[in-house]
Amino acid sequence: MQWTRKDLLGLYDLSAEEITLILDTAEEFKKVSQRRVKKVPALRGKTVVNFFVEPSTRTRVSFELAEQRLSADVVNMQAQASSLLKGETLLDTVRNIEALQVDLVVMRHSAPGAQNFIARNLGCGVVNAGDGAHEHPTQALLDIFTMREKLGSVKGLQVAIVGDILHSRVARSNIWGLLKLGAQVTVAGPATLVPREFESIGVRVCHNLDEAIRNADVVNLLRIQHERQTADFFPSIGEYSKFFGIRPDTMKKLKPETLIMHPGPINRGVELAGEVADGKNSVILEQVTNGLAIRMAVLYLVAGCVQK
Amino acid sequence: MKDLLFKNARIIDPVRNVDAKGDLGVSNGLIVEASEVKDATVIDLSGKVLTPGFIDIHVHLRQPGNSDAETVATGGAAAAAGGFTSIVAMPNTKPPADTVGAIELLRNMAKKSPVKVLPCGNMSVGGQGEAMAGIGSLKEAGIVALSDDGRCVQNHGLMRHIVEYAKAFGVPILDHCEDSSLAAGGVMHEGKWSVLLGFNGIPAAAEELIITRNVLLAQEINWRIHMQHVSTRESVNILRYARSRGIPVTGEATPHHLTLTDECIKKFDTNYKMNPPLRSEEDRQALIAGVADGTITVIATDHAPHTATAKEVEFDHAPFGIIGLETAFALCHTELVTKGVIDLPHLIRMMTAGPAEVLGLEDYSLRPGRPADLTIFDPAEEYVIDSSKFFSKSRNTPFNGRSVIGRIIMTVVDGKVVYQK
């Protein structure tokens, strides 16, 4: 299996073999971060720009560390500091970045498909760090990596994703990746935030938490955003938490070895009780650690396909 | 102007139920019997079709306000190349066409158009949906219809008054049917593909709700309301029901809603972004069925030019709309006629008598004495759409590179050849 893409835009585009290649490559890079010297020269001489047109802390830090550990030269660009506010188009901004002989652009944007649009207009590589509610491929890859590491194989796993599925790029990328690797996916949450249309691609859609998590091997919880309440998707955070939050007593309904995952940031006491987030089933911090390995793997593979 | 004599054409004249081989003369800008022309230029049309000039009742000319995208002159030239001899100019210009002065300006600019530009006035002040525009004065200034296209009057009480008032002045209503609270924030059809791609959707119900409202108002007031760019299955069903009851409502379909679906958006190409959005395949099939059974009586383009700069942005941020004047006939002929959905006279009716009926134009036919507005095409010519050759100032079409059958070869307005391939 040879990696052939200059961009990583989403898991929708990838084959099971390509996903597995990233996961296998990440296993090797995970070992690097466990060494005393946590750096390899894989991207020496390459320049990576982290271009975030939407706020992010953890994803940006994770990418930046991954780039540094691969010995790339790194520049961070925030939307606030960029020319977008001066009326320049996104395409012009990114063309200007490319004109500085940059090899890779890691990009986050609020508009679905913004990275697809940029990637087809640029020669440098584009890695999607989240585009609106469309995809967040490295997050899903690190989730899947964690499942594989903990449970051995993804094939046949029952994975429940709970929360605001409608507005979640994490959910979409997880769905594509998990389906391709042979897992069974259930999405759950209030009916207003979990559209039935997901059934058309073979995902089970559920509006009852107990039913959704009953036989789950993994429960992946998504952050519920307060602004959805003001848009009338559900009556209150309290009611959301009552019907869809995971509390210590919920754990009794799960299989003992079920993994509790969360892409962060957690609203403690809303979608997830603190005791569960810190409990023995939780792998939330291991997800963060694995995120670094996944991003190193992705950057390494993609950089190898950028024509310079 | 020299007389013209068209010979050996297949003449299709839906109003008079004519579909026969024959000759047609043009003298002093009017249609005459072939025997009456003198010293005419003779044009042999063997294998070609001659019809009344096409009418597009849904065109955005962008002037004044955005003449980088289109002008009355360039839009008119695009219309001529597409076989249209009359186009209805939507009022959402900047400033909007909600005053007598704006209509006079348009009529003045229309002198630079090779085809007839029929003004449409706003039904509400500024198209804002809050107060009735000066409908009587606009009628005096020469409007042929009222529309707030691009927007839709949300206040049903105001809409009722507009329809009642317009009826007294004999002005038809062309409505962009969209409930704003259901459509708010949407950029594509709400359905499988909006969910998979993570876009905010525009539900079908946003259109169907207003179509239902309009059916009830048209029935109550007994005045004509025309539904612009009908795009969903239930819209077609509601319209079919209303027409079966004799309620004076009509509907149009655009070539793009008849040929494309929401799945096209998975490539994030903003030339697939328009409003109403491309719907599901089920909706598209229902629309085609509505065309076939006569529920939909008009093909209209919703020609909506935008500059490349405006469209070369993130899908969320791109303006709605695509151009359509120069591709409409070929697309409909290819997809509807050559595929056997309707016959050629039916398509010609939808591009001539159908829109004429909406506007209340009497006897839109090839009867001697009528203005010589004619469209001539070769129904057999296959070609590839090349947007770089368009007369429109804009290039925002998803159909560039598509193979089609049926090519406009000549357009005649008041006896003058305004386009010739």
Pull the structure tokens for residue A190.
């209030």
The model's pLDDT over B68-89, given as tens digits with 9 standing for 90+, comes to: 999 999 999 999 999 999 999 9
β-strand pairing of A125-131 with A104-109: parallel
Which amino acid is located at B63 in the chain?
A: Q
**Among residues 179-218 of chain A, which lie with CB inside 8 Å of chain B?**
195, 197-198, 200-201
- Could you give the percent of chain B with pLDDT greater than 90? 100
Distance from CA of B203 to the nearest CA of A (A): 13
Q: Considering chain A, what is the average pLDDT of its residues?
A: 94
Please tell me if residue A51 touches chain B, with a CB cutoff of 8 Å. no
Asked if pLDDT for residue A308 goes beyond 60, the answer is: no
**Between B195, B198, B314, which is nearest A198 by CB?**
B195
Residues B59 and B72 in one domain: yes
Residue B365: inside a domain, yes or no?
A: no
Active-site residue identified among B13, B98, B262, B302: B302
| Averaged pLDDT for residues B4-10 | 98
| Averaged pLDDT for residues A40-65 | 94
- In this prediction, residue A57 carries a pLDDT of 85
Distance from CA of B208 to the nearest CA of A (A): 20
What whole-number distance in Å separates Cα of residue A21 and Cα of residue A264? 26
Instruction: Residue A214: name the closest of A204, A223, A224, A222 by CA.
Output: A204
Residues B74 and B17 in one domain: no
- In this prediction, residue B258 carries a pLDDT of 98
Strand (E) or helix (H) holding A50: strand A47-52
Residues B263 and B407 in one domain: no
Beta-carbon contacts of residue B64 (< 8 Å; ≥ 6 apart)? B93, B94, B95, B105
- In this prediction, residue A307 carries a pLDDT of 73
Residues A174 and A32 in one domain: no
- Band the pLDDT of A83: cuts 50, 70, 90: low
| A76: region left, alpha or beta (phi > 0 left; psi from -120 to 50 alpha) | beta
Q: Considering chain B, what is the average pLDDT of its residues?
A: 98
Residue A154: inside a domain, yes or no?
A: yes
Angle (deg, nearest 10), helices A137-151 and A169-180 = 50
Taking the model in full, what pTM does it have? Answer: 0.95
Residues B404 and B279 in one domain: no
Interface mutation target, options A7, A51, A134, chain B, most CBs of B under 10 Å: A134
**Between B191, B312, B316, which is nearest A112 by CB?**
B316
Give the chain A residue whose CA is nearest to the CA of B311: A89
Count of alpha carbons within 13 angstroms of residue B180, beta-carbon side: 9
- DSSP-derived 3-state class of residue A111: coil
- Chosen domain end from B310, B328, B359: B359
Domain that residue A183 falls in:
137-288
The model's pLDDT over B51-64, given as tens digits with 9 standing for 90+, comes to: 999 999 999 999 99
Asked if pLDDT for residue A84 goes beyond 70, the answer is: no
Give the chain B residue whose CA is nearest to the CA of A114: B314
A236 within 8 A of A270, measured Cβ to Cβ: no
* Helix-, strand-, coil-residue percentages of chain A, each rounded to 5: 45, 15, 40
Is B302 an active-site residue?
Answer: yes
Rg of the Cα atoms in chain B: 20
The model's pLDDT over A232-290, given as tens digits with 9 standing for 90+, comes to: 899 999 999 999 999 999 999 999 999 999 999 999 999 999 999 999 999 999 999 99
What whole-number distance in Å separates Cα of residue A276 and Cα of residue B92? 56
Residue B364: inside a domain, yes or no?
A: no
B192 contacts in A (CB within 8 Å)? 197, 200
What whole-number distance in Å separates Cα of residue B318 and Cα of residue A199? 30
What whole-number distance in Å separates Cα of residue A168 and Cα of residue A262? 13
**Which residue in this structure is represented by tokens 């849904």?**
B58
Rg of the Cα atoms in chain A: 19
Angle (deg, nearest 10), helices B204-221 and B233-244 = 10
Distances (CA, A) of A16 to A155, A217, A272, A276: 11, 20, 31, 32
Distance from CA of A60 to the nearest CA of B (A): 22
- Flag if A132 and B191 touch (Cβ within 8 Å): no
- Band the pLDDT of A82: cuts 50, 70, 90: low
Residue A87: inside a domain, yes or no?
A: yes
Domain that residue B409 falls in:
4-49+370-420
**Between A90, A133, A198, which is nearest B314 by CB?**
A90
Between the two ends of chain A, the Cα-to-Cα distance in Å is: 23
The model's pLDDT over B298-347, given as tens digits with 9 standing for 90+, comes to: 999 999 999 999 999 999 999 999 999 999 999 999 999 999 999 999 99
**Which residue in this structure is represented by tokens 């386009």?**
B419
The model's pLDDT over B99-141, given as tens digits with 9 standing for 90+, comes to: 999 999 999 999 999 999 999 999 999 999 999 999 999 999 9
Asked if pLDDT for residue A81 goes beyond 70, the answer is: no
| CATH at residue B251 | 3.20.20.140
- Band the pLDDT of B361: cuts 50, 70, 90: very high
Residues B326 and B390 in one domain: no
Distance from CA of B141 to the nearest CA of A (A): 40
- Flag if B198 and A117 touch (Cβ within 8 Å): no
The model's pLDDT over A219-242, given as tens digits with 9 standing for 90+, comes to: 999 998 777 766 789 999 999 999
Pull the structure tokens for residue B378.
């070769």
Phi, psi of B145 (to 5 degrees): -165, 170
Residue A10: inside a domain, yes or no?
A: no
**Count of domains forming chain B:** 2
Least confident of A153-157, A265-269, B210-214: A265-269
- Band the pLDDT of A85: cuts 50, 70, 90: low
The model's pLDDT over A182-197, given as tens digits with 9 standing for 90+, comes to: 999 999 999 999 999 9
